[in-house]
Chains A and B, each alone.
Chain A
Amino acid sequence: MSEEFNWLEYSEEMEAAALEEEGRSGRRGLRRLLPRLPSLRRPALPRMPGIPRPRLPKLRLPSLRRRGGARESHQPSAADILGEQLNRPLEDLDDRLRALRERSVEASQPAPSHQALYAVDDLLAGPALQDRPGGVISAVSLSKAQQQQVEMLRDVVGGAPEAANAGGRSPRFFSGFALSAAPRLLGSAVLLLAVSLPFVSSDYAEGDLPPAEFHEDRHEPTTFYNLLDNLTGDDYVLVAFEYGPAAAGELDILADLLLRHILAQRAKPIIVSSNPIAIVHAQNVIRAINRSLDLAGEQLLHGEDYFLLRYLPGGALGLRELSENFDDVARISAKGLPTGLQFDTLDEMTEIVLIAASADDIRHWVEQVASAAEGRRLLVATSYAAQPLAQAYADSLDQVIGPIVGIRDAYTYGQKLETNFGALLPAEASPQEPEFEQLDADASSDSQAEGRRGPELPAEDAIATALPQPTETAPPTATYFATDRPQPTDTPAPRATDSPTATATATEAPVRVVVVTSGQRVNIRRGPTTVDDILGLGYEGDMFEVIGANGDGSWYEILLPGGVEGWIAEFLVDERLVSAAELAGAQASASAADTQRGERAVLQREYMLRLGKPAPRFYQAQAPASGDRLEVALNRDRAQEIPRLEAMTLGTLAAALAIIFGNVIYAARALLSLRGTRGD
């Protein structure tokens, strides 16, 4: 301590070192063009006699003149340097440097090991600087009120309270094991046990299952159901998928039910999302529905039964684009192909269904979409976590219907759906526990259903009784289920093969057709040249109606099943005159063969989508039976529903007990800690 030390001189050394370093590195970039300014150096002050200079080792000082990224690098700060000076008397430091050193020491302490959530303490940690009245540090410290709010947040998310670390002395009983991970493990084990028991045995069931109908005080979920039940084949429903895989455990069941309900009514869901992962997830949900329909050989087809639009980038901005440029958004599918949808505004949607996991998503849809499409209702299905906000919107806005919330409402909705659609099953296929695999539902048959309808009612009356009464825009339900799938609005008029009536009429006049004679697969093209796009494929024996030819007769213009026009080379086919019945029979057999090949339908669908037309279902075996839509509504996998509901009840009880127990422990710790402090 004999050597004197002058802090001002010390600063000058730092300055000189930095300038020297800059001189070595040279001036780079645009600064080269600027005149070199004289350096502004702080004049050296005379040394104060009598002040002992502390012993300091040679320090590697950071350059104070580095720019940009260098400033963000891991150069040691002044606080770090001071924190390392453990052999130096603290009293030698003034208040400012002592505070810096304390900051460094605090920052180097290991993170508490008992935080419940990863990195929560890091996120919530305030500045580690000690507040000193009048100092610069106080300007960046949390106020007392702010500190209380941080403590509250820390409690809510499971972080460690500051008082447990810094305040008082922990009693021996609660130190060590009790403060380690054991409480968390114990609570988790109890919760996992409670949630797991219902999956092991039904003996542990607690509480009642949700009712089969929504409670009479809850009008809105019933309204939600009825609105979807009134959809018809001409309706398009915008379905917003605003949840990803993380929320799938809660919302998949709701999304599955709502999509099935819409599809069972033969309306067409148009799926859209502002979350790209939700788009991918929506495809998975549709795929799962398709898997459940495999037994009937019926598959939902993109571009015909449902549409998956491109995702909307930009969050609220994307939703604003949807509401103002819906024609543009509806034009492109998630795969970047034209959808063939031609809408001008969102008002052309019959309903808008929102399936959202977070309150923010609901708020964005209400603010950006519902407020812009005032004529449309917004039907909200959501998670428990987002229910409070969704309920507030539903209570205050007539436009917002719902919400349907979580797994309990999903159970009720599913029960309602299956009750109503199950009533359409014929009597022999509708036992107490319906076996949906044995579906043979023909609403026009003479079979009578049991259950809600009563054994004496004829089938059509029974169906009309079982389903909700249609609105003025919906056709009678019994007739609806007996009719065939409606054609897209912009496809050509139904051909002779589309309905028995048309077939009967067409048999009176011969039809000019071509039959493929080539033994190899032939191409059907968009125009009468070999450079035109390939629309589809033809195989030997395939028969197509002729509607024209090119100038030299080298190409026939033909009509493909589904009303799409194409061209086929003359040398590959023979021209004939056949009856309409013969044409229908040939195309039906081609259709059956097509289910084996598959490639033709896929190819034609792809090119139809590229052409921007609704892709018809080529070579479909037969018009689908009226039971196909019953399968969509009923063929759900419900194996996990009841155990999950029971697990929810037990899990809620276990969580409540854990919270109460935790609070008792917390209070006891606080009391004992207080007593220990007083003892000191």
Chain B
Amino acid sequence: MAENTISLVSFVLTLMVFSYLFGDAPLIGGLYRIAVYIFIGMTAAFTLVVSYEGVILPYLQDIQDQSTSWTALGYRADITIMFTALLFALLLLLKPINRLTWLTNSVYAVVIVVGAAVGAVGALNGTLFPLLQATVALPDDLTADFEVLVESLLIFVGTMTGLYYFHYQARARADGNEEQSRVGRGFRHIGKAFLVTTLGAIYASALLTSLTILTERIGFLFQFGA
């Protein structure tokens, strides 16, 4: 019974989403919006529940656990972290009060700065350096592995010209206009070609993903109808 109900609700919601094909008109398009709002609302609710059960509640239970001693250094550190987090959460709740918005913004600033720092370090160690190393790495035997050589050269040229595409430095002419050298313009065109090709590949990949999800939904509709 429960399975049938879930399937029925899924069927109706799927049809409501597909109603967007008829546009965002108030009558028909409203169905799409309702489905989206339901999805957003449930997502928010589940996020709250999962956060409370998995993140907040264990911290509170740690405090109540009598087997944990206040004298333990690690425990005091945990308490400090927890109260800091609670303080930040309370400050975020002050957002609707205009006069205290600066407090909320201070929390935002801390989170954003720490996040940016972690992201920057991770990007350097995990992406930039490894990809750079792979870009400049050449095979040991160039003649034996011609395919790898060509690939490495393509990556190198694509990287450099792609970077140059976002380089806007130009020389000022006597009449006040700006002029970029022919070589620079050439690099920019090559970089643009790489970028357009990359965007095309990403677009095609996204299209395949959309088709995969569409086939799953269509299959579900036929399965439900059967």
Stretch at the interface among A33-41, A81-89, A308-316, A476-484: A308-316
In angstroms, how far is the closest chain A Cβ from the Cβ of B216? 3
Instruction: Assess the B47–A156 pair: CB atoms within 8 A.
Output: no
Instruction: Assess the B22–A648 pair: CB atoms within 8 A.
Output: no
Residues of B within 8 A of A313 (CB): 51, 55
For A366, the closest partner residue in chain B by CB is: B126
In angstroms, how far is the closest chain A Cβ from the Cβ of B5? 15
Residues of B within 8 A of A648 (CB): 208, 211-212, 215
B205 at the interface (CB under 8 A from A): yes
A9 at the interface (CB under 8 A from B): no
For A334, the closest partner residue in chain B by CB is: B54
For A185, the closest partner residue in chain B by CB is: B21
B170 at the interface (CB under 8 A from A): no
Contacts A249-B214, A277-B50 given; 14 further ones with Cβ under 8 A?
A: A200-B222, A246-B213, A249-B215, A250-B216, A279-B50, A280-B50, A332-B54, A336-B53, A363-B126, A366-B126, A370-B126, A371-B125, A396-B133, A651-B211
Which residues in chain B, 106-148, are within 8 Å of chain A measured between CB atoms?
111, 114-115, 118-119, 122-123, 125-127, 130-131, 133-135
A671 at the interface (CB under 8 A from B): no
CB-CB under 8 A for A385 and B209, given A156-B203, A249-B216, A392-B131: yes
Partner of B215 from the list A247, A639, A644 (CB cut-off 8 Å) is A644
Instruction: Assess the A335–B119 pair: CB atoms within 8 A.
Output: no
Instruction: Assess the B99–A29 pair: CB atoms within 8 A.
Output: yes
A196 at the interface (CB under 8 A from B): yes
For B96, the closest partner residue in chain A by CB is: A69
Instruction: Assess the B50–A366 pair: CB atoms within 8 A.
Output: no
For B212, the closest partner residue in chain A by CB is: A250
* Residue picked from A184, A191, A195, A639, most chain B C-beta under 10 Å: A195
In angstroms, how far is the closest chain B Cβ from the Cβ of A333? 7
Bound CA span A181–B111, Å: 44
Q: Which residues of B contact A (CB under 8 A)?
A: 20-24, 39, 43, 46-47, 50-51, 53-55, 57-58, 61, 98-99, 101, 111, 114-115, 118-119, 122-123, 125-127, 130-131, 133-135, 198-199, 201-203, 205-209, 211-219, 222-223
CB-CB under 8 A for A368 and B61, given A279-B50, A334-B50, A392-B131: no
Instruction: Assess the B23–A383 pair: CB atoms within 8 A.
Output: no
CB-CB under 8 A for A652 and B223, given A332-B54, A367-B127: no
A125 at the interface (CB under 8 A from B): no
Flag A171-196 by CB within 8 Å of B: 1 or 0 each: 00000000001001100100110011
Instruction: Assess the A367–B209 pair: CB atoms within 8 A.
Output: no
Instruction: Assess the B122–A277 pair: CB atoms within 8 A.
Output: no
Partner of B213 from the list A184, A247, A395 (CB cut-off 8 Å) is A247
Instruction: Assess the A317–B50 pair: CB atoms within 8 A.
Output: no
In angstroms, how far is the closest chain B Cβ from the Cβ of A338? 8
* Residue picked from A69, A249, A280, A639, most chain B C-beta under 10 Å: A249
Instruction: Assess the A316–B208 pair: CB atoms within 8 A.
Output: no
In angstroms, how far is the closest chain A Cβ from the Cβ of B206? 5
Which residues in chain A, 206-224, are within 8 Å of chain B measured between CB atoms?
none
Residues of A within 8 A of B61 (CB): 336
Residues of B within 8 A of A192 (CB): 218
Can you sample 7 A-B contacts with CB below 8 Å? A69-B98, A316-B122, A367-B126, A388-B202, A639-B223, A648-B211, A651-B211
Instruction: Assess the A320–B118 pair: CB atoms within 8 A.
Output: yes
CB-CB under 8 A for A368 and B211, given A276-B46, A384-B206, A647-B218: no
Bound CA span A276–B198, Å: 32
A7 at the interface (CB under 8 A from B): no
Bound CA span A387–B46, Å: 29
Which residues in chain A, 357-390, are within 8 Å of chain B measured between CB atoms?
363-364, 366-368, 370-371, 383-388
Instruction: Assess the A317–B219 pair: CB atoms within 8 A.
Output: no
Instruction: Assess the A383–B209 pair: CB atoms within 8 A.
Output: yes
Instruction: Assess the A317–B115 pair: CB atoms within 8 A.
Output: yes
In angstroms, how far is the closest chain B Cβ from the Cβ of A600? 25
Residues of A within 8 A of B111 (CB): 314
Closest A-B pairs by Cβ, 4 of them: A367-B126, A249-B216, A310-B54, A367-B122
For A189, the closest partner residue in chain B by CB is: B21
A68 at the interface (CB under 8 A from B): yes
Instruction: Assess the A406–B208 pair: CB atoms within 8 A.
Output: yes
Residues of B within 8 A of A317 (CB): 114-115, 118
Residues of B within 8 A of A407 (CB): 212, 215
* Residue picked from B118, B135, B211, most chain A C-beta under 10 Å: B211
Count A-side interface residues using an 8 Å CB cutoff: 71
Bound CA span A188–B223, Å: 21
In angstroms, how far is the closest chain B Cβ from the Cβ of A186? 11
Flag A31-71 by CB within 8 Å of B: 1 or 0 each: 00000000000000000000000000000000000011100
Instruction: Assess the B50–A276 pair: CB atoms within 8 A.
Output: yes
Instruction: Assess the B215–A647 pair: CB atoms within 8 A.
Output: yes
Bound CA span A335–B126, Å: 32
CB-CB under 8 A for A397 and B21, given A249-B212, A311-B51: no
A655 at the interface (CB under 8 A from B): yes
For A645, the closest partner residue in chain B by CB is: B215
Flag A494-505 by CB within 8 Å of B: 1 or 0 each: 000000000000
Bound CA span A249–B119, Å: 30
Instruction: Assess the B217–A249 pair: CB atoms within 8 A.
Output: yes
In angstroms, how far is the closest chain B Cβ from the Cβ of A279? 6
Bound CA span A331–B55, Å: 11
A426 at the interface (CB under 8 A from B): no
Instruction: Assess the B126–A368 pair: CB atoms within 8 A.
Output: yes
Residues of A within 8 A of B127 (CB): 363, 366-367
Partner of A640 from the list B203, B208, B223 (CB cut-off 8 Å) is B223
A199 at the interface (CB under 8 A from B): yes
Instruction: Assess the A655–B55 pair: CB atoms within 8 A.
Output: no
Bound CA span A400–B223, Å: 38
Bound CA span A310–B50, Å: 8
Partner of B218 from the list A199, A333, A368 (CB cut-off 8 Å) is A199
A113 at the interface (CB under 8 A from B): yes
Instruction: Assess the B21–A188 pair: CB atoms within 8 A.
Output: yes
Flag A245-258 by CB within 8 Å of B: 1 or 0 each: 11111100000000
For B52, the closest partner residue in chain A by CB is: A336
Instruction: Assess the A371–B54 pair: CB atoms within 8 A.
Output: no
In angstroms, how far is the closest chain B Cβ from the Cβ of A322? 12
Residues of B within 8 A of A314 (CB): 111, 115
Instruction: Assess the A652–B208 pair: CB atoms within 8 A.
Output: yes
In angstroms, how far is the closest chain B Cβ from the Cβ of A152? 8
A616 at the interface (CB under 8 A from B): no
Residues of B within 8 A of A366 (CB): 126-127
Instruction: Assess the A68–B98 pair: CB atoms within 8 A.
Output: yes
Partner of A181 from the list B23, B101, B205 (CB cut-off 8 Å) is B23
Instruction: Assess the A336–B58 pair: CB atoms within 8 A.
Output: yes
Bound CA span A279–B199, Å: 32
For B200, the closest partner residue in chain A by CB is: A156
Which residues in chain A, 232-250, are within 8 Å of chain B measured between CB atoms?
244-250
In angstroms, how far is the closest chain A Cβ from the Cβ of B143? 21
Residues of B within 8 A of A387 (CB): 205
Partner of A250 from the list B58, B101, B209 (CB cut-off 8 Å) is B209
Residues of A within 8 A of B126 (CB): 363, 366-368, 370-371
Residues of A within 8 A of B218 (CB): 192, 195-196, 199, 647
In angstroms, how far is the closest chain B Cβ from the Cβ of A142? 15
Instruction: Assess the B50–A311 pair: CB atoms within 8 A.
Output: yes
Residues of A within 8 A of B46 (CB): 276-277, 280
Residues of B within 8 A of A385 (CB): 202, 205-206, 208-209
Residues of A within 8 A of B24 (CB): 118
In angstroms, how far is the closest chain A Cβ from the Cβ of B179? 16
For A187, the closest partner residue in chain B by CB is: B21
Residues of A within 8 A of B119 (CB): 316, 367
For B98, the closest partner residue in chain A by CB is: A68
In angstroms, how far is the closest chain A Cβ from the Cβ of B194? 13
Instruction: Assess the B130–A655 pair: CB atoms within 8 A.
Output: no
Bound CA span A314–B39, Å: 21
For B54, the closest partner residue in chain A by CB is: A310
A269 at the interface (CB under 8 A from B): no
